[in-house]
Structure 1
């Protein structure tokens, strides 16, 4: 059975979401020792929408960029110059199992270790903050949720999760260069007053995406080895 941390090449948006969806389905047959972790990129700028958002309506606003729908919740994310991770496992996973928030907390501890290792002063969000204008923004990075990662400059990673009684999939976006302001502009939310956001390049000069992907994969493996 699978127990893998895979670093994938850049893929089209449809293939990235297809792979995550298939891994979630596979996870229904996993034992507590099994998991599938992907560290990946997107081969062209793309927008992913949460499961409750309407792709047709968004395409009318933004017709010139590839739009896909995630199986997870959350809001819109512009995927460009970023690292994305996904984890599929049993809800009884020895490494990432438990409740929705248990899983968020465990994965966030890995992300926090990754950021601190590369020199980004990041910390896990211990208290949920509400949007300044509830329900207004369609953009994921508009506000941090419980156990997401923030820095003194703002939110630096956004995650979403799908789960049922047997399995879960969590995936998340780690911007290497700041693109979420462009996402707000695309959604015509340029003046939204919600939470600030940032990227790795706001802290590191000339970050290397390949090196960063390898470090993130290593932090996941170190977390698993400790458990």
Structure 2
């Protein structure tokens, strides 16, 4: 059985704390898929990404854009008009990190295909360079196992494995606004326009693929069905436990601490 959580929009700090809080339950054998949104919109950095001196925090504040550092790896993502997913599970349940990555993305692809979105998972045979934790945007480059459409990335994901638990989360773009990742970069100079175009053209949103973006409730239902199909198990609606809520409240201090956000 997979527990399904569907939350309303929250701040970046709240969302990252909530995601990490689910890992203790994963260590005890519980698999969870959580879907949520962001309010306000937020820029997120990968765990080991160099961001200090690369992004304009003052400009982000002027534009009411939150900034947070994820517990997972990967690169910069702008979270706004999207549905975000998070999966937590025992670390070895689905094999290696790569195997888990591909299976989770296949579940997402299956759900999106059921809504008519012409998505595929990038073949492992595609030759692409491994991403480095630079200031470059996550959606600039599709990698093997990721969900794409028309050669562009629709779902950007990242992982973290810690003390017997796996966390994978990512953005399912409803509308492609990834140019914001480059608009908030410092010192882009004359390369700014090209970088913004690169971030935008490397990504694609559901609004580019469907005549109408489905309501979030319908989208969550389809994605949950995709997980049932891929993992041959029931997906059942649930809620955060008292222990998870307490852990999330405690972790919030880290994810709102500038020392964490700008640690590198």
Residue in 2 that maps onto 1:25: 24
Q: Contact 1:50–1:72 (CA<8 Å) still a contact in 2?
A: yes
Residue in 1 that maps onto 2:72: 72
Residue in 1 that maps onto 2:193: 190
Q: Contact 1:49–1:70 (CA<8 Å) still a contact in 2?
A: yes
- Structure 2 unaligned runs (5+)? 235-264
Give aligned pairs, total: 219
The structure, 1 or 2, with the larger RCO (C-alpha pairs under 8 Å, 6+ apart) is 2
Of the candidates 157, 163, 168, which is equivalent to residue 166 of structure 2? 168
Indicate the RMSD between aligned Cα atoms, in angstroms.
2.5
Larger Rg: 2
Match runs of 1:13-52 below 5 Å: 13-28=12-27, 30-31=28-29, 34-52=30-48
* Cα distance change, pair 107–3 in 1 and its aligned pair in 2 (3 A): closer
**TM-score, normalised with respect to structure 1:** 0.86
Residue in 2 that maps onto 1:53: 49
| In structure 2, distance between residues paired with 1:190 and 1:225 | 46
Of the candidates 142, 157, 160, which is equivalent to residue 159 of structure 1? 157
- Structure 1 unaligned runs (5+)? none
| In structure 2, distance between residues paired with 1:143 and 1:214 | 28
Match runs of 1:70-109 below 5 Å: 70-93=70-93, 97-109=94-106
Could you tell me how far 1:173 is from its partner in structure 2? Answer: 0.4
